[in-house]
Chain A
Amino acid sequence: GDSVTQMEGPVTLSEEAFLTINCTYTATGYPSLFWYVQYPGEGLQLLLKATKADDKGSNKGFEATYRKETTSFHLEKGSVQVSDSAVYFCALSSPYNTDKLIFGTGTRLQVFP
């Protein structure tokens, strides 16, 4: 079945460092891909998404490109801030079943000043 695999955390960085969180997927057809973020004490929020191959989703300085050839959707940010400390979840939605998201296990990011 469809699945998402993302790198285990925690990822620990200094402020202004470059961030990459890897995400790969297995799916039938052409899924939509998402990154969600959960800040401490808050609910899960959609960060960005991409719905077709080569699309780039971006928001708040974060970017991820839908790579069909490598079945990947890696999250990147050029310069992280302490306020980016959170848990990040990669997810997919199958075109054959749009009423559910399939999530990865989440990656905790800790940014220190």
Chain B
Amino acid sequence: GAGVSQSPSNKVTEKGKDVELRCDPISGHTALYWYRQSLGQGLEFLIYFQGNSAPDKSGLPSDRFSAERTGGSVSTLTIQRTQQEDSAVYLCASSLAQAVTEAFFGQGTRLTVV
């Protein structure tokens, strides 16, 4: 596609349920990033992929969070046993190389845990 695509755009889930958020990067972009924006907070780095490997996953807030990337393309961020504090907008970005400043961002997935 022309840009980074994220789905769903909105997700409401019950506390304790698992959710999967999807990111389709721009074709050919080898680097992929996940960020989170909580209410009143800046964008918080979660994880970075180069190809299918994640050299930096230092931002994942707990072991309930995991992410994978397959075929050097689509990435899925999974949150297990969701908590209310997980409510946020989750943003994905991709870039041609390891240069996040040249990255293109998707419109995000707004997750609400009730």
Listed in ascending order, the chain A residues whose CB lies under 8 Å from chain B are 4, 32, 34, 41-46, 49, 89, 91, 93, 97-106
Q: Does B91 contact A (CB under 8 A)?
A: yes
Interface residues of B in 72-114 (CB under 8 A from A): 91, 93, 98-102, 104-108
A to B CB contacts below 8 Å, 14 in the list: A4-B42, A32-B101, A43-B91, A43-B107, A43-B108, A89-B42, A89-B43, A93-B100, A98-B98, A99-B56, A99-B100, A101-B101, A103-B35, A103-B42
A43 to B42, CA, bound (A): 15
Question: B48's contact among A42, A45, A100, A102, by CB below 8 Å, is which?
Answer: A100
B48 CB contacts on chain A under 8 angstroms: 99-100
Q: How many A-B residue pairs have CB under 8 A?
A: 59
Nearest CB of chain B from residue A4's CB, rounded to whole Å: 7
Nearest CB of chain B from residue A90's CB, rounded to whole Å: 9
* Pair B105/A45 contact, Cβ less than 8 Å: yes
B106 CB contacts on chain A under 8 angstroms: 43
A32 to B108, CA, bound (A): 25
* Pair B101/A43 contact, Cβ less than 8 Å: no
Query: Which size class do B's interface residues fall under?
Result: 20 to 34
Interface residues of B in 36-79 (CB under 8 A from A): 37, 40-45, 48, 55-56, 59
Most buried by B among A41, A45, A100, A104: A100
Question: A44's contact among B44, B98, B105, by CB below 8 Å, is which?
Answer: B105
A77 to B35, CA, bound (A): 28
Nearest CB of chain B from residue A52's CB, rounded to whole Å: 14
Q: Kindly report which residue of chain B lies nearest to residue A44, judged by CB atoms.
A: B105
* Pair B41/A101 contact, Cβ less than 8 Å: no
Taking A89-B42, A103-B42, A106-B37 as known contacts, 8 extra A-B pairs with beta carbons closer than 8 A to each other, sorted by chain A number, are A45-B105, A93-B100, A97-B56, A100-B33, A101-B45, A102-B45, A103-B35, A106-B42
